[in-house]
A and B are shown apart, each in its own frame.
Chain A
Amino acid sequence: MPEIDLTEPPEDRALLDDLGAALRAADPAPDHWQFAAEGCFTWRTVDAELAEMIFDSTAPENLALVRGPALAERIVVFEARGLRVEIELVAVPGTARFRVTGQLVPEGAGTVELRQPGGSVVAEADASGRFHADGIVAGPLSLRWSPPGEGRPVETAWLLV
């Protein structure tokens, strides 16, 4: 089998470079993309533990198993070193907002900050680790909380709601 040549001939490469410049000039990303991306740097933290997403009921590989309009609710789980948060997102009918119901594991009371670029919502988890929050808008979401007895707060990976 012949080896696949992964680079274009030089004149094609030059044309593609020119086309790239033309597209960046003619069809750029909206200005607010740039502003939003620059502003993301203010979310940089070095003190927190990152809880990665380990399950999303609407991930493409899971949705392949689902047929029909079973998408009204979404379950997402984040975990870091045995510290876990499970959330259920439900679209509130007639609004562009979501209600979040969550469970901290290990269970315990505490304050959970639901962070979005446009503003944060604070929820109080009860002694069993359950919490609710309303008013979550479509867009990126990350949760932050301080597990009892842990030195560092935990932040979830950013999730696109």
Chain B
Amino acid sequence: MTPSAQILGARAPTCSVTSVATTELGALVVAAAAGDQHAWSRLVARLVPYVLAVTRAYRMVPADAADVNQTCWLRLVEHIHRIDDPDSVASWLGTTARRECQSTLKRSQRVVTLDDDAEPQPPGGPGPEPDQSLLTDERHRTLWAAFSRLRPRDQALLRLRSTDPPMSYDDIVATLGMAKGSIGPTLGRAIDRLKQEVAALGVEPDDLRP
């Protein structure tokens, strides 16, 4: 445990359960619960991509995805001083996002499938095209181009497992409806296909290493 987490944990005045954080994210949760707006902003910056990965897995249309994002953060605000395990905040947000995505899709009676045989699709779904000029890093540009050529199911699994922190296998089971035992092998094959696409772009996968 970091000393700062200990201090923050001891100071949080509204915790009914004494929340003790041992990770950087957990410490941000404890600090935000005590009213630290700066900690909240850092938490948001770290974990908005995590929520995005969930909404992408469900191929939510942009307006619905934005509503899910905002609802997740409002629910975290209302629960932040009640969370038993601040270190698992990413999983907590991901679970909330998953439930809101499922409810929203059910209400609009849209059916989502990530068919193994589906054609490759731009990973942003119906959203705007990403701004290529943002990709100053050549390695990232190559990985993005290769990723864009993968099938949706490979994209969804790779995206959930490349978040920071990576989504746990249990949460992936609930999000993608996969059997837990098949995640490892399926992920391995998706990584192989990503490397093949990198090679097809004329880049040696080994050259991707910094």
Closest A residue to B33 using CB positions: A44
In the complex where A20-B162, A26-B144, A30-B62 touch, is A4 in contact with B181 (Cβ < 8 A)?
yes
Question: Are A33 and B52 within 8 A (Cβ)?
Answer: yes
Partner-binding segment picked from B2-10, B18-26, B38-46: B38-46
Partner of B140, one of A5, A12, A25: A25
Question: Are B140 and A26 within 8 A (Cβ)?
Answer: yes
B residues within 8 A CB of A158? 71, 74-75, 78
In the complex where A8-B187, A34-B44 touch, is A43 in contact with B69 (Cβ < 8 A)?
no
Q: Is A127 an interface residue (CB 8 A)?
A: no
Q: Is A135 an interface residue (CB 8 A)?
A: no
Q: Is B81 an interface residue (CB 8 A)?
A: yes
Q: Is B139 an interface residue (CB 8 A)?
A: yes
Interface size band for B:
35 or more
A residues within 8 A CB of B137? 22, 25
A residues within 8 A CB of B44? 34, 37-38
Q: Is B106 an interface residue (CB 8 A)?
A: yes
Q: Is A117 an interface residue (CB 8 A)?
A: yes
A residues within 8 A CB of B102? 60
Complex interface residues of chain A between 41 and 73 (CB less than 8 A to chain B):
41, 43-44, 46, 50, 56, 58-60, 63, 71
Q: Is B37 an interface residue (CB 8 A)?
A: yes
In the complex where A12-B191, A41-B32, A155-B78 touch, is A160 in contact with B73 (Cβ < 8 A)?
no
Complex interface residues of chain A between 1 and 32 (CB less than 8 A to chain B):
4-6, 8, 12, 14-30, 32
Q: Is A148 an interface residue (CB 8 A)?
A: no
State the CA gap A35–B109 with chains docked (Å).
29
State the CA gap A22–B78 with chains docked (Å).
32
Q: Is B158 an interface residue (CB 8 A)?
A: yes
Q: Is B113 an interface residue (CB 8 A)?
A: no
Taking the nearest CB of chain A, how far is it from the CB of B79, in angstroms?
8
Question: Are B147 and A46 within 8 A (Cβ)?
Answer: no
State the CA gap A38–B191 with chains docked (Å).
34
In the complex where A27-B130, A44-B77 touch, is A36 in contact with B103 (Cβ < 8 A)?
no
State the CA gap A19–B157 with chains docked (Å).
12
Complex interface residues of chain B between 39 and 70 (CB less than 8 A to chain A):
40-41, 44-45, 48-49, 51-52, 62-63, 66-70
- Which 3 pairs of residues, A with B, have the shortest CB-CB distance? A20-B162, A22-B140, A26-B144
Instruction: List 9 contacting pairs A-B, 8 Å CB cutoff, sorted by A.
Output: A15-B208, A22-B137, A22-B140, A25-B135, A34-B48, A38-B41, A41-B40, A44-B77, A60-B103
